[in-house]
Amino acid sequence: MESKVSNGSGPQDERITNLLVFGFLQNCSNYNFHEELELLGRELPVPAYLKEDHDDELQTDGNRCSYFLDGGARDSESQEEIIQDIARQLAQIGDRMDHSIHPGLVNNLAMQFMNVNLSEEDRRKHLAAALEQAMQTYPKDMEKEKTMLMLAMLLAKKVADHTPSLLRDVFHTTVNFISQNLLTYVRNLVRNEMD
């Protein structure tokens, strides 16, 4: 019998993390990876309204289009809107803190992601090391987990901004990092907003 090691995340958690990171990147200001983000959006099982950059499509019955690529039901729409709102809020914080991430840190991380011989685990380790360095320069008045979450996504944004062709790789590594290290915090954020 083959045993599998799991971090406790399932398809629903992966969907939430995908939505959060995609929404964060989509809501950041001043980025150079518009085309790459659009392509990534077509590949992800995220709601159509996120992919179309909030371009609500009116159907013939007068209702807004609400189909989902992953076959999700409409009742998950409110959760997805909450995740999008959280992503928007974190992107606003990220925009204010964007300038304080040292360009050398971003350049080094981008160089690591360009190394095609690195495994996903090695990429995650490099992201974690860069995140640890970035955490040293941030004020301690924000919750540690919130700071880590926002900085992980901000580093992804800055690497993609530095080298747009790295967007897909840095997106997936960031989603995996968040799923492994901050999933409980993300679940609680969503749950608290839904209450």
pLDDT, tens digit, for every residue of 8-67? 567 788 899 999 999 999 999 888 999 999 999 999 875 544 544 434 444 444 443 433
125, pLDDT greater than 60: yes
Contact at 8 Å (CB) between 107 and 162?
yes
* Neighbour-count burial of 136, counting CB atoms closer than 10 A to its CB (0-12 exposed, 13-18 middle, 19+ buried): exposed
Lowest mean pLDDT among 8-12, 48-52, 137-141, 165-169: 48-52
- What is the enclosing helix (H) or strand (E) of 142? none
The whole-number pLDDT of residue 11 equals 73
Contact at 8 Å (CB) between 153 and 174?
yes
Q: Letter for the amino acid at 123? A: R
Give me 42's structure tokens. 């077509």
- Mean pLDDT along residues 86-95: 94
Query: What is the per-residue burial (b if ≥16 Cβ within 10 Å, else e) of 6-15?
Result: eeebeeebeb
The whole-number pLDDT of residue 69 equals 38
| pLDDT bracket for residue 142 (50, 70, 90) | confident
Lowest mean pLDDT among 19-23, 51-55, 81-85, 187-191: 51-55
Contact at 8 Å (CB) between 174 and 152?
yes
- Dist. CA 181–CA 123, nearest whole Å: 14
Tens-digit pLDDT profile for residues 58-79: 444 444 343 333 444 444 668 8
Give me 58's structure tokens. 């009116």
Q: Which of 93, 91, 112, 107 lies closest to 161 in space, CA to CA? A: 107
Helix (H, G, I), strand (E, B) or coil at 67: coil
The whole-number pLDDT of residue 97 equals 87
The whole-number pLDDT of residue 53 equals 44
Contact at 8 Å (CB) between 130 and 154?
no
Contact at 8 Å (CB) between 13 and 187?
yes
- Location of structure tokens 């392509």: 39
What is the value of pTM for the model shown?
0.80
All residues at 6 or more sequence positions from 87 whose CB lies less than 8 Å from its CB, including other chains: 19, 20, 21, 22, 23, 24, 26, 27
Contact at 8 Å (CB) between 95 and 29?
yes
Q: How much is the mean pLDDT over the chain?
A: 82
The whole-number pLDDT of residue 4 equals 36
101, pLDDT greater than 70: yes
